[in-house]
Amino acid sequence: MGSVNRREFLTATGAGLAGILAAGVPPARAQQREISYLCWNNFAPASDKKLAEIGQRFTKDTGVKLKIDHVSHMGPQQSKYASEVQTQAGHDLVEMRMHFPWLYEPQLVDVSDVVAELEKKYGKALSSAYEGGHVKGVWRAVPQYHTMFVPTYREDLFKKASLKVPDTWEELYTVGKELKKMGNPVGIPISQNYDSISTASPVLWSFGGMEVDKDGKTVRINSPATVQTIEWYKKMYRDCMEPEVLSWSDSSNNESIQQGKAGWVHNPLSAYIVARNRKLVTTDGMNHHRSLTGPHGRHETDVPRHIAIWKFSKNIEPAKEWIRYLLGKREVYDEYIMSGDAFNLPVYDKLQDHPVLKTDPKYAALKGEGIQYHTYGWPAPPSDKVQLITNTYLLPNMIAKAVTGTSTKDSIAWAETEMKKILAG
């Protein structure tokens, strides 16, 4: 830089000050750094409250102002993501689950450096988190937590009727018939929501079926295993459930058992947690047991959450700073996990025996021995196409067709055609 004499300096700074006053905008380096984070409404509400509290401390400690927005995890979030990508404007950080990082891969910042720091401290991310967030050799989203699906049942009703706690999907049919006779049917949604897929997938896998082969290209839904799955759903729908499951949202099964109707649901712990927090009369009667098995093993859907940063963000480094603050500080991450009451479980290997599992004896079923965890679409490798199959709810739609009158053969043929269209698109 060349030398500047006193007259030139005063002229320059005077003009700059006049410009600032005229514009009413301070220079960029004097502005407070600010980032925005779009995440889904957590089914354990205390977790959202804690997130806001941690965010305020983050601002105090770092000077980076954080604005947190929440959105429903169903349709609104998908349209919100699409809108932000289309306009290249919106939030800096977004919560992602399932294969969303694959779907939006070109729009996401490489966060491999952040994940490497976390894995060095906590151990490797769980395989399901790796499948979802590690895209084509690069981490496009940082594993945040995961949520286990376990059966929630009315232990008091089971004892009253001397019902055996089921260990297989077939045993569930046996007890489900009795539960329906008692006025407490099984509550498995067969509708366009994620809980429908989170149950249909383990049932399909347990019978040996799949939607797409592990090559990611060959549709395999048309198989004897899918026939078995649909026939199981048909008799469950007829003898153990009520027609209302065809129009349920993700929260309907929670509400059904909380309100004393359902006797058994397949869901994360949120049904129990919310009932306990609201001191509902059904709380004491609820308990959990291990996920169910079938002829081809005990499988479970795992839906890890991630945090991603849009490439169009102008605040990438402060955004990474927030992720490091929330997940990289052990005491903060513990605090966040504990606030979720075992709905949000640590997603790193060394944290699996977390203290949150010992805060309530009814969390004892949250043990993964013998369970194979998969993300949606397994054994197909994660991809944008697999995510599109999920987003269009082809699996529950196929089952809904079958239980409402379409033949098993025609229902499967419909799903096969639709899946082939997506893979070819």
Yes or no: say if 411 and 227 are a contact pair by the CB < 8 Å rule.
no
Q: Checking phi first, is residue 387 left (phi over 0); if not, alpha (psi -120 to 50) or beta?
A: alpha
Average pLDDT over residues 382-401: 91
Average pLDDT over residues 43-49: 85
Top mean pLDDT of 219-228, 289-298, 301-310 is at 219-228
Local confidence band at 13 (pLDDT 50, 70, 90 cut-offs): very low
Q: How does the average pLDDT of the chain come out, rounded?
A: 89
Q: Is the pLDDT of residue 334 over 90?
A: yes
Q: Is the pLDDT of residue 25 over 60?
A: no
Dump pLDDT digits (tens) for 131-190.
Answer: 889 998 999 999 999 888 889 999 999 999 999 999 999 999 999 999 999 999 999 999
Between 70-79, 169-178, 385-394, the lowest mean confidence (pLDDT) is in 70-79
Local confidence band at 392 (pLDDT 50, 70, 90 cut-offs): very high
Local confidence band at 31 (pLDDT 50, 70, 90 cut-offs): low
Per-residue confidence (pLDDT) for residue 74, from 0 to 100: 57
Average pLDDT over residues 236-247: 97
Q: Is the pLDDT of residue 381 over 90?
A: no
Distance CA 193, CA 397 (A): 10
Q: Is the pLDDT of residue 11 over 50?
A: no
Per-residue confidence (pLDDT) for residue 187, from 0 to 100: 97
Average pLDDT over residues 231-236: 98
Q: Is the pLDDT of residue 291 over 70?
A: yes
Per-residue confidence (pLDDT) for residue 386, from 0 to 100: 87
Dump pLDDT digits (tens) for 145-157.
Answer: 988 888 999 999 9
**Higher-confidence residue: 420 or 99?**
420
Per-residue confidence (pLDDT) for residue 131, from 0 to 100: 83
Per-residue confidence (pLDDT) for residue 387, from 0 to 100: 81
Local confidence band at 383 (pLDDT 50, 70, 90 cut-offs): confident
User: Structure pTM?
Assistant: 0.76
Dump pLDDT digits (tens) for 203-215.
Answer: 999 999 999 998 9
Local confidence band at 368 (pLDDT 50, 70, 90 cut-offs): low
pLDDT > 70 in the chain, percent: 91
Per-residue confidence (pLDDT) for residue 12, from 0 to 100: 40
